[in-house]
Amino acid sequence: MPELASRAHMQNILPVVDAALKTSGCSLAELDAIAFTQAPGLIGALLVGTQFAKSMALALDKPLIAVHHMQAHVLANLICEEKPSFPFLCLTVSGGHTQIVLCESPLKMKVIGETIDDAAGEAFDKTAKILGLPYPGGPLIDKYAAGGDPKRFKFPEPQLQGLDFSFSGLKTSILYFLQNAGKSLAFKEEFTATEKERANFIKDNLADICASIQARIVSILLNKLKKASEETGIKDICIAGGVSANSALRKGFKESGEQYGWRTFIPSFEYCTDNAAMIAITGYYKFLNKEFADLSVSPMARSIL
């Protein structure tokens, strides 16, 4: 609900900035610059942040730095002690994006693969919705999958050439599978279950269904990452974005690293989902490079990396 999100930003921006300053023990005078998220995202929420940052920069006479949200997710990997060396690959998986990014330097990145339809986070959230779970469903699928058998149900892997991803076919097959109460992956009239049969099937098999869905999403992501590493010869590999908090992806990613000789990097849990530290570290690199914005800068709902 974009309108509610904008209002929540208006209500929270002052207390949040205030709390951040207090917690860090940093005064306004000590700040070197003001970095903010310019794009992409919900335009109302971005407008609140942009206007606030501009006002702060103007009032304090500090430089203003515009940050791209997806670039910031990648650079969250540079916050921790142990950092990847350039060039590295990053699989960025969030609610709106699924990308493989070739990162040559903090500010030089190229998207070499991305989703042609749904993002990985959407695949989690939309299938969770079909299962009757609330939004955001990703963390809940992760939670219920813990006690399930990931090999029990076999969902299809899309046969897409190159490094691009597709998740819409998986979502459709899960929808049909549940409409048929687990009897078929394709829609079959003769297997159409009643509302009650479907609810019972989900209730009795929730852990195995969640584990099987999660295993397929993770294998789609890791197979493409393996291909990207083979094609580029790059073995320093990171993951980032909200879905990198997923326990099966984190485990599978580490195992792939051991199997293929990658050095693997995952931001600490709190830097995986949306956070302000990733905006700050991107601001830091832009500050070193003197990439400042002027007061005419506008937020953008959509923007390619």
Residues that bind ligand KG4 (CB under 6 A): 94-96, 121, 124-125, 136-139, 142, 241-243, 245-246, 273-274
The count of chain residues that interact with Zn ion, using the rule CB under 5 A, is 2
* Residue showing the smallest CB distance to ligand KG4 in the complex: 242
Q: d(Cα 201, Cα 183) in Å, to the nearest integer?
A: 10
Q: Which does 273 bind (CB under 5 to 8 A by kind): Zn ion, ligand KG4, none?
A: ligand KG4
Of positions 114, 149, 164, 274, contacts Zn ion by CB under 5 A: 274
State how far the Cα of 305 lies from the Cα of 109, in Å rounded to an integer: 8
H helix or E strand, kind and range, residue 126: helix 120-130
113 contact, one of Zn ion, ligand KG4, none, CB 5-8 Å limit per kind: none
CB-count burial class (<10 Å; 0-12, 13-18, 19+) for 266:
buried
Residue 114: strand, helix, or coil: strand
Contacted entry of Zn ion, ligand KG4, none for residue 245, CB cut-off 5 to 8 Å set by kind: ligand KG4
Q: Which does 243 bind (CB under 5 to 8 A by kind): Zn ion, ligand KG4, none?
A: ligand KG4
- Cα separation, 206 vs 191, in Å, equals 20
Pairing of strands 263-265, 236-240: parallel
121 contact choice in ligand KG4, Zn ion, none (CB below 5 to 8 Å, kind-dependent):
ligand KG4
Contacted entry of Zn ion, ligand KG4, none for residue 236, CB cut-off 5 to 8 Å set by kind? none
Q: Map the footprint of Zn ion across residues 78-97, applying CB under 5 A.
A: 94
The residue (of 142 and 236) whose beta carbon lies closer to ligand KG4 is: 142
Helix (H, G, I), strand (E, B) or coil at 64: strand
Q: Which is nearer to ligand KG4, 57 or 76 (CB)?
A: 76
Minimum distance between the CB of residue 73 and Zn ion, rounded to whole angstroms? 6
Instruction: Count CA atoms closer than 13 A to 132's CA, side-chain side.
Output: 11
Examine residue 164 and tell whether it contacts Zn ion (CB under 5 A). no
Nearest distance in Å: CB 137, ligand KG4: 6
In the complex, minimum distance from the CB of residue 165 to ligand KG4, in angstroms, rounded to a whole number = 15
Least separation, in Å, of the C-beta of 245 and ligand KG4?
Answer: 4
What's the helix, strand, coil split of the chain in %, to 5? 50, 15, 35
Angle, nearest 10°, between helix axes 120-130 and 137-145? 70
Tell me the C-alpha distance between 130 and 116, whole Å: 22
Residues that bind Zn ion (CB under 5 A): 94, 274
